[in-house]
Amino acid sequence: MWGIFLESVVIFQNYMGFHENGWLAGLYLFALLYLWLTEKDKRRRAIFVYAPTFLLLLFFCPLFRKVFVRLLEDSETYYRLLWLLQMSLVSAYGLLRLCGRHRRIGLAVACLAIVACGDYVYDSEHITKAENAYHLPQEALDIVDMVEPEEGRITVLMPIDLLYFVRQYSTNIELPYGREMLIDRWNYYHPMYEAMEEAEVIEAETFTELAREYPCAYIVLKEDREIDRPLTDYGYDLYGQVGEYLIYQDTRTE
């Protein structure tokens, strides 16, 4: 039981970001404690005090975790119980209550909390300058505009770095596989993905046979992708190029 409890503690620490910035967790726990001591309204106490406290007690309870894992047969999603804590609501309400009772002290604490918990988002490696109104990579949009039919839908085989963006831009482009192939713990197998992404060198004959089973009207490859023989030897024409991506059209598929 003690080991299960310690595992829950580690999950809580990782979820709250103690290893990077524990200010958000500290602010939440401070607001919760303050509301425990000062909030008198019964209905508000039920929402902002009793409910999150009860959820925390359940989360750290080893017996509850054993029942949760046994019923759902999934231990990796246990952290999602913490989504129910409503950290933003409790923290915001707690600070507002503090400002209401102690205006100067509350305002100072709120400003300090905002500065301490904040982060300059543009320093993140995941933030890039928008290239268009869709906030999607322009190369993905250009490829779709080049191959998208005027009517109906077609299947296009694309590298994994384009999967997230194509379907956001157009539903007329179907893909042999989606983002499920990128989640390791789902452990999905797809022969087309194996031939396209996992092989060090694409075996053109097997690769084109698989692509025609869907059928893929176009194949998009990076120009530096290794392939044992040119796709043009198997009935494909080089339809165009967008940046580092080569677009091949299957002349044998309608």
Q: How far apart are CA 250 and CA 232, in angstroms?
A: 9
Cα 156 to Cα 143: distance, rounded to the nearest angstrom: 10
> How confident is the model at residue 147, as a pLDDT?
93
User: Number of helices (H) and strands (E), helices first, in the chain?
Assistant: 11, 5
Helix ranges (H only) for 82-203 are 87-101, 103-117, 138-147, 160-169, 191-193
51-55, 72-76, 150-154: segment of lowest average pLDDT: 72-76
Percent of the chain with pLDDT over 70: 97
R_g over Cα of the chain: 26
244 and 222 Cβ atoms separated by less than 8 Å: yes
CB 24 within 8 A of CB 90: no
pLDDT of residue 24: 78
What pLDDT sits at residue 19? 64
- What pLDDT shows up at residue 21? 64
Using DSSP, state whether 238 is helix, strand or coil: strand
Pick the closest to residue 110 from 121, 96, 124 (CA basis). 96
pLDDT tens, residue by residue, 18-47: 666 667 788 888 889 989 998 888 898 898
Taking the C-alpha atoms of residue 4 and residue 36, their distance in angstroms, rounded to an integer, is 28
Q: Are the CB atoms for 234 and 228 separated by under 8 Å?
A: no
Query: How many CB atoms lie under 10 A from the CB of residue 62?
Result: 15
The rounded distance, in Å, linking the Cα atoms of 166 and 79 is: 31
Phi, psi of 35 (to 5 degrees): -70, -35
Q: What is the pLDDT of residue 210?
A: 92
| pLDDT higher than 70, residue 134 | yes
pLDDT of 164 strictly over 80: yes
Cβ-proximal residues to 197 (8 Å cutoff; 6+ apart), any chain: 159, 160, 181
Give the pLDDT score at 173.
92
Is the pLDDT score of 226 beyond 70? yes
What is the model's pLDDT at position 8?
85
pLDDT per position as a tens digit, 85-98:
888 888 888 888 88
Enumerate the β-bridge partners of residue 218. Answer: 156, 249
Model-wide pTM > 0.75: no
